[in-house]
Structures are given as C-alpha cells and as structure tokens.
Structure 1
Amino acid sequence: MRRARLTTAAVLAALSLALTGCGGGNGSGSGSGSAKADTGGPADITFWGWAAGYEKSVALWNKTHPDVHVKYEAITNGGAGGYDKMLTAAKAGKAPCLAQVGYETFSSFLAAGVLQDVSTYVKDGRSEFPDWVWGNVGVDGKAYGVPVDTAPMAMFYRADLFKKAHIALPKTWDEFTAAAAAVKAADPAARIMNLPTDPYLYAGFAWQGGAPWFGVKNDAWSVSFDSAANRKVGDYWQGLYDKGLLASYPAFDAALYSAWSKGTVWAEVGPVWSASLIRDNASGSAGKWAVAPMPRWAGTDTVGNSGGSATAVMKDCSHPKEATEFATWMSTDKESVSNLIASAAILPASKSGLTNPALDAPQSYYGGQPVYQLFRTESAKVNSGWMWGPIMSISATTLGDGLGKVHTKKATYENALGNAQKDTLKALKSQGFSVN
C-alpha cells in the first residue's frame, strides 16, 4: 500500500504526548472511538482507516464472528490529516481500538506512547510474517500491531522501447548505468528514468543498499543519513544525473506521467504500488510495459521496500486480544486477503497471503504478465536491516527539500543527506530523545 506521511504538526503533537506522559488517556477505553468495557455482550471494536476495501474485509469478519463486532470508520488519508486525528483522539482518550498506520509512521506513534503492546496475542502468529516485517510494527521484539502489506521494489520498463533499441535489461546498477547511456544514445530526447527525489521513494534505494537512516542502541537513537553507505547510494544517482542520463520531473507529477505514456522516460524503479500508479496515469502506453527485478549492487541479492502498513492497536483499546485476533484475520484470511488484493492492489505481508491465487492473475496493462508473481518472489529478498525513525516527517521534509533542488544544481544528494542528518539530530535532541 502506498505510504502515507505524517505531517510535521502531527509529529510535534506526538512528541508532546510522549514527553508529557499523556499519550493514552486514562486507559479506561471510555472514549467514543474506543472499544467498550466488557458488558457480557459482543466485544465492540472501532477501526479507523482509509484504504480501499477495508470496509469489505470488516463486513466479512462481522458475518462470521458474532462475538466480536468491528465498526469500520473511514477517515482522511493519514498524511492528509488522518494521523493528526488519531493522535488528537489519543490525547483525549477517545482513540479507536484499531488504526491503519504506515510503517514509516509507526515509530512516531510508538514515541507518542499511543500504542499498546500486543506481543502476547501475536506470538502464535509470528511465523506467519517475516521477521523484517515485524520489525516495522514494534521494537525490541515487541509488537504493537499486525502487518498488512509490504512494498518490495522492482524495475518497471517500456518493453517495446527496450526491444526496439536492442538494450538488454540491467541486472546490476553498473548495467543500469550502461543502459541509461544506451537509452540516451538511441533517443537523445529520452531518458531511462526520472531522478528519484521523493524522500520515501529514495528511502527504498537506501534500504536496498544497506544504508540505514536510524538505529537504536542502549535506549538511544542513532542517525546515519550521512554514513559512507548512504553517500554511496546518493553518489550513484548524483553521478547519473550529472552525466545527463536522468529526467528531472517533479515526483508524482502529470508531466512525468505524460513522459511515461509518450516514451520519453522508459523505466521506473519503484515499489509494487507503482504498478497501479503507472497503469492509472499512463494509459497511453497500456500493454507496452513489463516488470523485471530491481537491479542489484554487485555481489548482493537484496531489494528495497517503499511502503506498506499495519493495523495498530491503540493504547486505550479495552479488547486488545479480540482486536489483535481481527487484525491477524484480516491479514491472513483467504477471502479477506483476496478482497484487499482486488480493492487496494496490496502485496500481502503474510506468508499465507502470498500464496493467494489472485497474485497469479495476468495483468493486461503489462502485456499479460502476472507481475505480482515477481513481487511475491522479491518480497523474500527485502534487506532486513531497516528501521524508521520517530520523527520521519521532519527528516523526510528536510531530505525532500534538498533532493528537490538537485535538478537546479542548488544542491546535491550529499548536501541533502547531510542536512537531513543535521536537522534530524537537532530535532531529536530538542524534543528530549536520547541520541547516540
């Protein structure tokens, strides 16, 4: 599922909650959005989210589970105000029992103290999800929710143009550089790919390259945007751009979509949700695209991840066991997962979900290729050493501002990473976090 961002205002609210110790209200669960106290009847659980198809999975559950009733309430996308709403409700003791939270935002909610440890209730289902996925919904082996989907990356490309120009598909980043030069030689007006300037999309490249941004040791945060590993990834993209081998459209812009359709940008290395992004915004090139594995760094066989979300259990939930039971069911039940694949175009996080036959369906936009089979295989190769920080909105804003200036020559990837390092450390310290 495409990641939703936490606004800066929401981050500051979260930090305020964490520092004042009022993140979860009084724990009574008496708020209008919380699960009601046990009265002998069905457990009532409220669930806030925005993804397409969630309401259908809830209806499927309620049809067969009379003892636990889930009420789904659709709210604004997290990054457009949904997360602010959740945090405000948590501060007032009126949060729902369950909430849709993107992996990149989970640490911010943990820092706010608004989530509930449900490790006891997920222990029997831990084997259903890869360890690296559990790492996105908790810390120190504890879990505060249940994963829903992941977003491994691959290379989307114009198969017709690569074939016509006799350009071999790149399997490594060195080969990608050679292919980029070949594309420009074949058509001086064309480029192999757009400059990756969206901070969360760029995170997927750092993720693949073993270049983490955050870590935790001895209860203190470490920040490493400017590490040697991160400079290596940044220098790669800077080098391609300096050689004139990349386009420079704004991320998620209509001009980029038009370039995909017209064949002036031939590829996009992006997450699984790019499949629907390209399909829905470049209809003029339907049937001409295909998907191949993400190019590798020499000597490695890992990919990055850019997106995904979980069903988080909020601190004031009075029925955490039942809430976790539903969340696990939603992510693993065959009928529920089939619905989410069809409605939200997710790649399931659960191992059983990855066996769902819906992922084997040929995709007409991609020339009949069953592209989700590729992502199923690649999901097992996601680099496991990644952790999101507690103030990603601040970090991502600084990084995005810097990356957005690369095409104007007013900044470089090195500058952008360095400023993200500086601003993140400053924000962590000013908000009272322990920092290594």
Structure 2
Amino acid sequence: MTNRPRRALRRTGLACAVALALTLTACGSSDDDGGGSAGGSPSDIKAALEKGGTIKVWAWEPTLKKVAEDFEDKYPKVKVELVNSGTNTDAYTALQNAISAGSGVPDVAQIEYYALGQFALSESLTDLSGFGADELDDTYSPGPWNAVSYDDGIFALPMDAGPMALFYNKKVFDKHGVPVPRTWDEYVTAAKKLHEADPDVYITNDIGEAGFTTSMIWQAGGRPYKVDGTKVSIDFTDEGSTAYARTWQKLIDDDLVAPVPSWSEEWYKGLSDGNIATLAIGAWMPANLTSGAPGASGDWRVAPLPQWKPGASVSAENGGSSLAIPRKSGNKALAYAFVEYANAGDGVKSRVAEGAFPATTAILKSKDFLDRKYEYFGGQQANKILAQSAGDVPDDWSYLPFQVYANSIFNDKAGKAYSTGTPLEQGLADWQEASLKYGKEQGFTIE
C-alpha cells in the first residue's frame, strides 16, 4: 500500500472548536449510538448483508439511483432509501440539524470534499478504517484520496473527481485565428484578442466564486490554509495566491470576463452561441455541456489547463464529493457495504456509464474509458486529457475546518473585486481577515 501524505491534524480539543462552528452536538458527550466514531470490521459487513435491512442515503447525485437499484438486485434483503435533502449548503444544514437533534440522521451522506473536514474533525463521521477503507488508497487518484483522509483515519470514500481542464469553443478560436492558450499569460492575451475581434465574445464568465478561486490558487502552487490541531492560519499573500490574483485582475480591469453567473440561463446561452469561449472547470463538465448547450455540439473541445509556468504540468481539483457514514448511523456495516459498492466496486462503472467522472485509478487508466470518443467534442477522446489532469493534481492541499462558512462570505469580501473596483488582492485580504475572525470566535487559535 502506498503511503501518501495526510493532513497532520491533532484532534484533541479540535472537535469542540469545530462543533461550535457547526453548532453540532456538545463536546465531551458520550457516543449515544453505542458504536463510537470508528467503523466495524469486514466480517461485520458480511453479516449485515446476510441479515439485510434498510439504509437511508442522503445524496443529490442522480447516478446513485441506478447504483441503488443494482445494489438491491445483488442483495435482495437490502433496501436503499435515497433521499435528496438538497445540495451544497442546504444539504449540510439539514445534516447538521439532524446530528444536533440526535434523530433522523441518515446512514450515508453525500459531502463535497471542501465541506468534509468540518464534519470529520467535529467527530460527526465514522472512521471507515476498521472496515478496510485504509487499504483502498491505491484505488483512487491522489486529490480525492487526500480529501477524505484526516489524521490517521478515513472518513469517507471518494465518489467522483473534478480534475480541471480547459473546455474551449474551437469554432470561436478558429474564426478569429486565436491560438488555444497553454499558459495563463497566453490566456490573458487570447481574452484580449477575442474581445477585440468581437465585443460580444468573452474568454469566460466570472462574478466571483470561492470554489473556482481556491482551485486556481491550488494549481498556482498557493497553500493559503494551514491547519494543525486547533491552530489555523490563512495567508493569501503567498506566491501562488498572488500570481492568481494579479493575473485575474488583468481580466477584470479590462472587462474581459462576462459578468454572468454560472448555471444561469444566460450562462448556458453564452456557452451555446459562443459568447463565452472557455471554461476552466472540473472534469464533470461534459454532461452539463451536452445537456445545457446542445446546440453547440461539435464546436467545443477539451485542452489541458493553462499553466502558470511554461512547460509545467500541474492541475487542481474543482468540485467532487464523497459518501460518508455519520457517527450516529444506525447500521454502519450495511452502510459501508453500499458506500464501497458505489465508490470502489461495480457501482463505479455504472455511474461512469451515466456521465460521472471517476475517482478510481483503474477506470481512469482503462482503455474503454480513455478511448471513448465524445460526439459533442467533435469525436475527441477527451478522457485522455481529463485522466492526465487527475494525475497532475498535487495532493497537499488543505481546506479550512470551517470552509463552508468561509465560502459563504466570499462574495461579500473578495467578490467585491467584480462589483466595486476593489483590487482582487485586497478582496482576498478582506476574506482572509473575516475568515480568521470567525475562526477565533469559534475557539480556534489563530496564527
């Protein structure tokens, strides 16, 4: 088993601090489900499957419906109750409320990587190592595996991945004779040329989004978040953060990014008619382009993410989520059987067939996956680029133990660079200050 770096997070005292941030159950209380935060054993899984029962899964990912049906067919004594409790903040609020109330807690919960730390470090999730999850590290690409690993435990299994790539409208670039950018400096140049050739064409859209910003900083080599036990520091003046802020500021200053929110009707229209020419985004995007901008089929292609240094090959994750088992799950062994099936077993192929991007290296390296031709991308074998990106993600990135809150205030701080003329570097500084203030209020030691 390959040992990859894990975040060195001392949990003594940290659970109480994070519980304050999440307004979860009080620290120091006994685990009233009787099972502790640790999982069981492989023999427990076998016994649970033989006995059967019902597990409740809170998830919004649509491909899990087929996985649940297949799992029930394989194990007729098991019933999987899928519940969509909302996405993102809504889902985490519902989960926090259930944990705090001590009732109605699901057996399995979908949690995005950026939010996982808050639940893991507050001891709200089951350590899956006892079930054998700690033996699965070579099953997954580095970015997703690092995201589910905390201290000496594994608190979820990766469900999908979001290694970044540059999705670009080849028809637009060819029409105006602009080369596809290989570096971010070339990207700024391309933005100017496209907009000068046609004022309706923008290199991309952006109104300020926390997840995109942290992904870009990740790729640039920035590591602004440092967490060691209850000690937290944030520094958006590091080299990578500064490189991103100064480069992106050029696009903002020259009005080269469309002021259009992602996932809006206007956004999909821009992707369809070529007025938004590129997206630097996660590998899960093909299905969204196919369904959201069908009229542009054949126009788009996929290229490697532009680099901060010529000749480099570095990527980052943008999005992606896991399946975790809350500490108060009433049937952890059966829940783990489903999680492993969905995220490491036959369920992975089922989900990929329906458009999900895998986190498992076996699928990423498989000939069928790599050779797949996308009609939408003009017959391009786009998975070869996306799989390479997955292998180029540095695995030493950390999120804050209160990242959900930090992301929720991004637009009020750093987002002002897009609306009031505040320099992006200043916006990041304001975001840093507000996040640290919140961390201190929640009991963290700020450095």
Calculate the TM-score normalised by the size of structure 1: 0.87
Give, in whole Å, the separation in 1 of the partners of 2:371 and 2:31. 46
Q: 1:211 to 1:70 in 2, by over 3 A?
A: farther
1:81 Cα offset (Å) = 2.3
TM-aligned CA deviation for residue 118 of structure 1: 1.5
Closer/same/farther in 2, CA of residues 80 and 384 from structure 1, 3 Å limit: closer
What is the distance in 1 between the residues matched to 2:314 and 2:124?
Answer: 33
Matched, 1:175 2:186: yes
Q: Is the 8 A contact 1:338 1:358 kept in 2?
A: no
CA RMSD in angstroms comes to: 2.9
Counterpart of 2:33 in structure 1 is 27
Farther-moved stretch of structure 1 (349-358 vs 199-208): 349-358
Task: Tell me the residue number matched to 1:42.
Answer: 52
**SS in structure 1 of the partner of residue 308 of structure 2:** coil
Q: CA deviation at 1:319?
A: 4.5
- 1:304 partnered with 2:321: no
Distance 1:201 1:162 in 2: 23
2:235 aligns with 224
Q: Report the more deviating stretch, 57-66 or 285-294.
A: 57-66
Bigger mean CA deviation after superposition, 269-278 or 303-312: 269-278
Task: Give the aligned partner of residue 167 of structure 2.
Answer: 156
Match of 2:8? none
Shift of 1:386: 1.1
Pick one of 22, 39, 62 that aligns with 1:15: 22
State the shift of 1:315 in Å: 0.6
Q: Distance in 2 between matches of 1:272 and 1:259?
A: 20
| Structure 2: distance between partners of 1:278 and 1:423 | 35
Does structure 1 conserve the Cα–Cα contact (< 8 Å) formed by 2:23 and 2:100? Answer: no
Corresponding residue for residue 341 of structure 2 = 329
Matches within 5 A, 1:376-415: 376-415=387-426
CA distance change for structure 1 residues 88 and 14 in 2, over 3 Å: closer, same or farther?
A: farther
Query: How far apart are 1:13 and its partner, in Å?
Result: 7.3
Q: Match for residue 74 of structure 1?
A: 83
Amino acid at match of 1:231: T
Q: Describe the superposition over 1:221-248 as per-residue Cα deviations: whole angstroms up to 9, x where unpaired.
A: 2222343431221111011221343322
Q: Tell me how far apart the structure 2 counterparts of residues 428 and 55 of structure 1 sit (CA, whole Å).
A: 38
CA-CA distance at 1:18 after TM superposition: 5.8
The structure-2 alpha-carbon separation of the partners of 1:132 and 1:156, relative to structure 1 and needing over 3 Å to count, comes to closer
**Aligned in 2, Cα 1:20/1:376: closer, same or farther, shift over 3 Å?**
same
Identity %: 25
Tell me the CA shift for residue 290 of structure 1: 0.8
Counterpart AA for 2:129: S
Q: Which amino acid letter does the alignment assign opposite residue 167 of structure 1?
A: V
1:26-425 to 2 correspondences below 5 Å: 26-28=32-34, 41-42=51-52, 44-65=54-75, 69-79=78-88, 81-94=90-103, 95-120=105-130, 121-195=132-206, 197-217=208-228, 219-299=230-310, 300-334=312-346, 336-343=347-354, 345-355=355-365, 357-358=368-369, 360-425=371-436
How many Å separate the matches in 2 of 1:218 and 1:25? 22
Gaps of 5+ in 2: 1-17, 36-43
The CA distance in 2 between the partners of 1:251 and 1:110, in whole Å, is 30
1:320-348 Cα offsets, whole Å, 9 max, x none, are 444334312211324x22321233x2211
The 3 A distance-change label for structure 1 pair 232 and 60 is same
Aligned to 1:4: none
Is the CA contact 1:214–1:222 (under 8 Å) kept in the aligned structure 2? yes
- Cα distance change on mapping 1:154 and 1:76 into 2, 3 Å: same
CA contact (8 A) 1:220 1:435 kept: yes
Distance 1:13 1:253, change over 3 A: farther
Contact 1:122/1:324 (8 A) holds in 2: no
Q: Is the 8 A contact 2:206 2:257 kept in 1?
A: yes
Separation in 2 of the partners of 1:44 and 1:124? 27
Answer yes or no: is the 8 Å Cα contact 1:146–1:324 preserved in 2. Answer: no
Which stretches in structure 1 are left out of the alignment for 5+ residues?
1-10, 30-34
Shift in Å, 1:112: 3.2
- Tell me the number of residue pairs that the alignment of Structure 1 and Structure 2 aligns: 418
TM-score, scaled to structure 2 = 0.85
User: Judging changes above 3 Å, is the alpha-carbon distance between structure 1 residues 46 and 244 closer, same or farther for their aligned structure 2 residues?
Assistant: closer
1:16-67 CA distances to partner (integer Å, 9 max, x unpaired)?
2265445x851247xxxxx999798336433221210212212212322357
Cα distance between partner residues in 2 of 1:321 and 1:220: 34
User: Which stretch of structure 1 is more off in the superposition, 143-152 or 177-186?
Assistant: 177-186
Check whether the contact 2:157–2:322 (CA below 8 A) recurs between aligned residues: yes
Partner AA of 2:87 in structure 1: G
- CA–CA separation in structure 2 for the residues paired with 1:248 and 1:185: 17
Runs of 4+ in 1 over 6 A off after TM superposition: 35-40
**CA pair 372-401 structure 1, distance change in 2 beyond 3 A:** farther
Q: How far off its partner does 1:203 sit? A: 1.9
In structure 2, the CA distance between the partners of 1:85 and 1:218, relative to structure 1 (3 Å rule), is closer
Query: Is residue 316–residue 394 contact of structure 2 (8 Å, CA) maintained in 1?
Result: yes
SS of residue matched to 1:106: helix
Q: Residue 294 of structure 1 aligns to a residue in which SS?
A: coil
- The whole-number CA distance in structure 2 between the counterparts of 1:403 and 1:39 is 49
Change (3 A) 1:217 1:390: closer
